Structure 1
Amino acid sequence: MKACPKTKIKFVGVPANDLVTKLTAMAIAGNVPDMYASDAVNTVKMAALNIPLELRAALGQDYIDGFAKENVGEMTIGGKIYSAPWFSIPTAILYRTDLFAKAGVKPPKSFEEFITVCKALTKDTDGDGKIDQYGWAMVGTDNGSGQGRFNTIARNMGAVDVGKDSSGKWVTQIDSPGWKAALKLYKDAVDVGCVPPGQFQTGYPEASVQIGKGQAAMMITGPHTIGVALTANPAAKGKLAGAPIPAAAGVSATTSLNQSGYAIARKSKHRAAAIAYMKFLLNKENQLRINDVTYRIPSRLDAQADPQVNSEMSLGFVKAGEGKVFSNPQIPWYNSIAILASPAYQAAIKGDKTIDQIAKEQAEKARKIIADNG
């Protein structure tokens, strides 16, 4: 606003987990703001409603070429770019290098090793007879933070919640061995005691604090957790790093970018101001400011190349985002499938039903959603 004195920006704050619901309601009511935050799933929904402006023409091809190709590719539908990537938070293992060194272990390269490493990192560090350091800060809440992490693990077990088969039909693998193996991983980790108590109330914020304070040694998450962890305990700086998530035998390891960006409403009456603001947010200086505070990985190549981003703490996540990337299916109803994960892993941990029963029930729900929409 200082650079553009005739422009005033009104911000509407919305929790990340509520963003899609809020924007969808605003779109239906016909009062979408000039510019809005947009992730990969929301981009599909908004495009289906004909809400966003196509950005390749608006920003210019030279500007588009300044994005990391993985980022801009995920925001592209049918060759058209509907959201400008801002940052990504590729999912990997965030771990405490100091606690790993003390335990004499390295980041796990298989899921069998994952439980073994978790157990080795679960300790009574002060000798009072009570465990005060756990191996895995598990996000077990019934929300998008928990669902996204579980689905990433399931994909590395070889199972996607929804995808296309060889004939091009939408199918689910929720009742496949890979998805069941992911449920078993959650149950086993809790059963052997290497997860802090209160799993169902441990969301992203709580798990991040556990990592920062050394109450847990590793977490399935993105680089943004580094910022939260250091806020909880500045002394952890220099003691955090990232490593790839393991993959089951015969499965290619993959990650999700979990990126956020900005879209401009096609009917915006302030298009020029919105474009100027978008480019302001995405300039190198501001991308590095955000990275410095939150450790999210910038979407622009010039910022990614800066030594600040290629640091020891962030480098593992940068490399994860350069590998095999899984993008959620570009279907407006994907979230209806994704949310089936959290009641499943919570039920597996409780143990009132077998994993086979849980997987069968959730797969039946997924197939009905596919039949109704696909």
Structure 2
Amino acid sequence: MKKKMALALSLAMAATTLAPAAVSAADEQVTLTIMSSIQTEDEGKLESAIADAYMEQNPNVKIEFISVANNDLDAQITTMAASDDLPDAFYMNCAFMSTALDMGIVADSSKYISDEYKADVLPEVLDYATVDGNLMFIPWFQIPVALIYRTDWLEQAGIDKIETMDDFREAAKAFTDISGNYGFSMVGTRNGSGEARFSVYDKAYGVNEVYQNDSGEWESDLTSDNFKTALESFVNLDLEDGTVPAGASETAYQDAVTYFANEQTGLIISGSNAVGAILNRNPELAGKLGSVAIPAGTTEDGRHVTNLQVSGYAITSTCEHPEEMAAYLEFAASYDNAVSFGSQTGRIPVTESALADEAFSGDEYTGFKDCMQYSIPYSTFPGYAEVQDIMGEAYNSMLTGTSLDDAMATVDSRITDLLAEYNK
């Protein structure tokens, strides 16, 4: 890992010759404050190296990070906005985009990015980061959701491909036999991590969780047969097939990754960052990982889907140096920095040029690159966090004994009340 970190540092330094220079009148001394959740994670050193390299190229610019855990970031920004004490930029969680826009605390980043950067960013990424015509943040990396699998086990099982949820179920059963343990690392916790994974699963069955009709009223498919089928098939991977490690209702993301890395399972629905997490735990799995787009559901409306999970920094409306901030954020996403950061972390580039690098040409990234075409825009429903919790309660309660009918009755009651609240 130390060698990888050294490589990342050297590439960040090399990138200084390729990135846009900051726009500072007469070399004015500029301090940029950035609230970052990355700083609280293992990747914080990589982010700091990028900032150090930029400051060396631009000695009049000083970058100061404010470290805040991701789970606390949205609340912290809300508090700082109330006291008129916002940083110059903050890490934007996609679930916070609509709220931030309503609060008026974010500048439209499209006014500050260069034509060269805009032309290189994938169109799907720009669409994902845009709400009501406003580019809510400058994209840095993405973590699309796909299905990671053991390529050697798939060959051993004699399965050609995983295209549909029936194929997925067959693979889960076969991998359970091959491993002698289980097949699928289900994240069954009732939290954002589990709910995000189930969300792409139910969407694969044609579920539109919440949307506006022609009259502008909010509607939901959570009471539909498609959702009921998705919910039942998901929990039955555990309850009926026995392909999921015991205690699925309490299995968090880190637990699921550990099961996979320990070769107790061979399937996991996750973002591309799980590739790095798995290989860091078990380097011997290098060359044995593959990925495919989320399999299409078995309903008539079945489809491939993904959540791109684009990430980056929003320039706040109170930032006094938005051009300089944009120049730094483009530097972070520039070719060498994006390739180095992405290859170390699995947080893959948002630009066409960097994504085409050989570092992302292996089987482990095939599905993540392919699934981008199936991206569905992030919901703009103001109460979407509660929609996710409704789904989380449904699968989590069924994993601990609630019947399908009772779970669906609760879903019906909660979503009906929620929509009524927003349709007043």
Q: Scaled by the length of structure 2, what TM-score is found?
A: 0.81
**Aligned equivalents of 1:285 and 1:217: distance in 2?**
32
Would the alpha carbon gap of residues 366 and 20 (structure 1) be closer, same or farther in structure 2, given more than 3 Å must change? farther
The 5-angstrom pairing of residues 145-224 of structure 1 reads: 145-191=193-239, 192-224=241-273
Does 2:386 align with 1:336?
A: yes
Does 2:405 align with 1:356?
A: yes
Residue among 136, 146, 168 paired with 2:184: 136
Residue among 375, 379, 382 paired with 1:325: 375
> 1:89 corresponds to which letter in structure 2?
I
Would the alpha carbon gap of residues 19 and 100 (structure 1) be closer, same or farther in structure 2, given more than 3 Å must change? farther
**Aligned equivalents of 1:213 and 1:224: distance in 2?**
17
Q: Write the deviation string for residues 315-346 of structure 1: whole angstroms up to 9, x where unpaired.
A: 2211111x221112223332222222211111
1:238 corresponds in structure 2 to 287
Would the alpha carbon gap of residues 32 and 40 (structure 1) be closer, same or farther in structure 2, given more than 3 Å must change? same
Residue among 304, 322, 336 paired with 1:285: 336
> 2:121 corresponds to which letter in structure 1?
F
**Aligned equivalents of 1:270 and 1:77: distance in 2?**
23
1:93 corresponds in structure 2 to 147
> 1:217 corresponds to which letter in structure 2?
G
The 5-angstrom pairing of residues 98-137 of structure 1 reads: 98-123=152-177, 125=179, 131-132=180-181, 134-137=182-185
Does 2:355 align with 1:307?
A: no
1:369 corresponds in structure 2 to 418
1:295 corresponds in structure 2 to 346
Would the alpha carbon gap of residues 284 and 355 (structure 1) be closer, same or farther in structure 2, given more than 3 Å must change? same
Q: Write the deviation string for residues 101-141 of structure 1: whole angstroms up to 9, x where unpaired.
A: 2232344322233222211111375xxxxx43x11000111
Are 2:211 and 2:381, in contact at CA under 8 Å, matched by a contact in 1?
Answer: no
Are 1:297 and 1:318, in contact at CA under 8 Å, matched by a contact in 2?
Answer: no
**Aligned equivalents of 1:208 and 1:38: distance in 2?**
25
> 1:372 corresponds to which letter in structure 2?
E
Q: Write the deviation string for residues 61-114 of structure 1: whole angstroms up to 9, x where unpaired.
A: 443222100001111122221211112222111001122222323443222332
Name which of structure 1's ranges 267-276 and 95-104 shifts more when overlaid on structure 2.
267-276
Would the alpha carbon gap of residues 215 and 27 (structure 1) be closer, same or farther in structure 2, given more than 3 Å must change? farther
**Aligned equivalents of 1:203 and 1:107: distance in 2?**
27
Does 2:326 align with 1:275?
A: yes
The 5-angstrom pairing of residues 34-73 of structure 1 reads: 34-73=88-127
Query: Post-superposition shift, 1:161?
Result: 2.0
SS in 2 for 1:65: helix
Percent of residue pairs bearing the same amino acid type: 28
SS in 1 for 2:183: strand
Q: Aligned-residue CA RMSD in angstroms?
A: 2.0
Are 1:186 and 1:348, in contact at CA under 8 Å, matched by a contact in 2?
Answer: no
**Aligned equivalents of 2:149 and 2:222: distance in 1?**
29
1:128 corresponds in structure 2 to none
1:33 corresponds in structure 2 to 87
**Aligned equivalents of 2:340 and 2:71: distance in 1?**
24
> 1:206 corresponds to which letter in structure 2?
D
**Aligned equivalents of 1:287 and 1:280: distance in 2?**
9
**Aligned equivalents of 2:413 and 2:272: distance in 1?**
35
Would the alpha carbon gap of residues 189 and 361 (structure 1) be closer, same or farther in structure 2, given more than 3 Å must change? same
Would the alpha carbon gap of residues 368 and 294 (structure 1) be closer, same or farther in structure 2, given more than 3 Å must change? same
**Aligned equivalents of 1:344 and 1:14: distance in 2?**
31
**Aligned equivalents of 2:71 and 2:198: distance in 1?**
16
Name which of structure 1's ranges 116-125 and 292-301 shifts more when overlaid on structure 2.
116-125
The structure where helix makes up a greater share of residues is 2
Are 1:92 and 1:242, in contact at CA under 8 Å, matched by a contact in 2?
Answer: yes
Does 2:308 align with 1:254?
A: no
Name which of structure 1's ranges 355-364 and 289-298 shifts more when overlaid on structure 2.
355-364
SS in 1 for 2:57: coil
Q: Scaled by the length of structure 1, what TM-score is found?
A: 0.91
Are 1:212 and 1:230, in contact at CA under 8 Å, matched by a contact in 2?
Answer: yes
SS in 2 for 1:347: helix
**Aligned equivalents of 1:356 and 1:98: distance in 2?**
39
SS in 2 for 1:219: strand
**Aligned equivalents of 2:213 and 2:374: distance in 1?**
19
**Aligned equivalents of 1:341 and 1:28: distance in 2?**
32
**Aligned equivalents of 2:65 and 2:415: distance in 1?**
36
SS in 1 for 2:65: coil
Segments of structure 1 that go 5 or more residues without pairing to the other structure are 126-130
> 1:316 corresponds to which letter in structure 2?
G
Would the alpha carbon gap of residues 297 and 28 (structure 1) be closer, same or farther in structure 2, given more than 3 Å must change? same
Residue among 294, 314, 320 paired with 1:263: 314
Segments of structure 2 that go 5 or more residues without pairing to the other structure are 1-54
